[in-house]
């Protein structure tokens, strides 16, 4: 069975470049707009663990990675700060959502809130990607509205030096602090892919292929025509969203093909998820 992820995006030059060049840009968490994203602290904790006793080598690796000179006189507090900085500024994140897909019409259950917040108030798009590397996808945890606390030595055991940052999928322990969000965001049903930050990574490395684009219902027709032309040599299908129908549930934003007579529509309220 095919698996898909969804990216809600504004219709700007970054989105268009990503689609045209078939690559994904990875931002660091310190550049995100939500100050509670990856809300964690790293401390020495009250209980000394086995890991702490063996952490000198790992601490030196961290200092090396951060370009700092290690000295035995440095406080553990400095190590904790460096580790927090390494996670927040040296790991890149791509955020996406998962949706249920109707077994009858094959359309996803798109989220109107997400369209408002991340697709420029319905003036942007939703990109559907088929993904073939589920091991790269990490589910966000929304359980509480509290900061998470991690023991520095336990995290340091899993710290990856720079040359292996690209293989982040094999080490989910080190990225755990980057997978917590406050529960207010649960509607996003977010998944994250990690890689090197501030860089565009080709779809092929990530096991992704853009399959469908859904235009928000407020995207102007000349924009739609331009985007379709720019992406005409890609294997991407284009669909259009209609505003919710009066007296229907808000989730029933209609998906359809424009311009083509007898074109396929989603089942609206009878979608089978
Ligand atoms: Zn359906």
The predicted-structure confidence for 158-205, as pLDDT tens digits, reads as follows: 887 766 666 666 667 888 899 988 888 888 899 999 998 898 999 999
Rounded to the nearest angstrom, the distance between the alpha carbon of 244 and the centre of ligand 1 is 15
pLDDT of residue 255: 72
The tokens describing 128, both together, are: 């559907």
Most confident of 31-40, 73-82, 115-124: 115-124
Rounded to the nearest angstrom, the distance between the alpha carbon of 265 and the centre of ligand 1 is 8
Q: Where are the domains of the chain?
A: 4-270
Rounded to the nearest angstrom, the distance between the alpha carbon of 31 and the centre of ligand 1 is 37
Q: 14: pLDDT confidence band, cut at 50, 70 and 90?
A: very high
Rounded to the nearest angstrom, the distance between the alpha carbon of 229 and the centre of ligand 1 is 28
- Cα–Cα distances in angstroms (integers) from residue 160 to residues 75, 85, 123, 128, in the given order: 22, 14, 40, 31
Each residue's pLDDT tens digit, 202-257: 999 999 999 999 999 999 999 999 999 999 999 999 998 887 666 655 555 677 76
Q: Which residues of 77-86 are buried (b: 16+ CB within 10 A; e: fewer)?
A: eebbebbbeb
Rounded to the nearest angstrom, the distance between the alpha carbon of 113 and the centre of ligand 1 is 20
Rounded to the nearest angstrom, the distance between the alpha carbon of 251 and the centre of ligand 1 is 12
* Greatest C-alpha distance within the chain: 75
Rounded to the nearest angstrom, the distance between the alpha carbon of 1 and the centre of ligand 1 is 17
Helix or strand holding residue 16 (H, E): helix 13-21
Rounded to the nearest angstrom, the distance between the alpha carbon of 257 and the centre of ligand 1 is 14
First to last CA, the chain: 15
Rounded to the nearest angstrom, the distance between the alpha carbon of 209 and the centre of ligand 1 is 23
Rounded to the nearest angstrom, the distance between the alpha carbon of 110 and the centre of ligand 1 is 12
Is-above-0.85 flag for pTM? yes
The tokens describing 92, both together, are: 């890149």
pLDDT of residue 112: 85
């Amino acid at each position: 069975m095919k698996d898909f992820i969804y990216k809600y995006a504004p219709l700007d030059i970054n989105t268009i470049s990503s689609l045209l060049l078939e690559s994904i840009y990875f931002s660091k968490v310190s550049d995100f707009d939500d100050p509670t994203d990856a809300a964690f602290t790293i401390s020495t904790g009250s209980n000394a663990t086995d890991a702490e006793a063996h952490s000198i080598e790992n601490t030196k690796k961290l200092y090396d990675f951060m370009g700092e000179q290690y000295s035995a006189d440095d406080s553990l507090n400095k190590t904790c700060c460096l580790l927090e900085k390494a996670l927040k500024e040296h790991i890149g994140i791509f955020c996406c959502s998962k949706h249920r897909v109707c077994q009858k019409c094959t359309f996803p259950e798109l989220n109107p809130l997400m369209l408002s917040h991340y697709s420029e108030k319905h003036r942007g798009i939703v990109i559907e990607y088929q993904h073939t590397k589920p091991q790269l996808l990490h589910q966000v945890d929304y359980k509480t509205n509290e900061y998470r606390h991690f023991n520095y030595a336990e995290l340091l055991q899993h710290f990856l030096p720079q040359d292996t940052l690209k293989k982040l999928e094999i080490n989910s322990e080190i990225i755990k602090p980057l997978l917590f969000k406050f529960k207010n965001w649960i509607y996003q049903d977010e998944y994250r892919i990690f890689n090197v930050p501030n860089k565009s990574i080709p779809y092929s490395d990530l096991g992704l292929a853009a399959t469908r684009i859904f235009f928000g219902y407020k995207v102007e027709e000349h924009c739609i025509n331009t985007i379709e032309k720019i992406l005409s040599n890609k294997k991407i299908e284009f669909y259009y969203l209609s505003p919710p129908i009066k007296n229907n549930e808000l989730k029933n934003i209609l998906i359809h093909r424009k311009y083509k007579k007898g074109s396929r529509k989603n089942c609206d309220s009878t979608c089978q998820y």
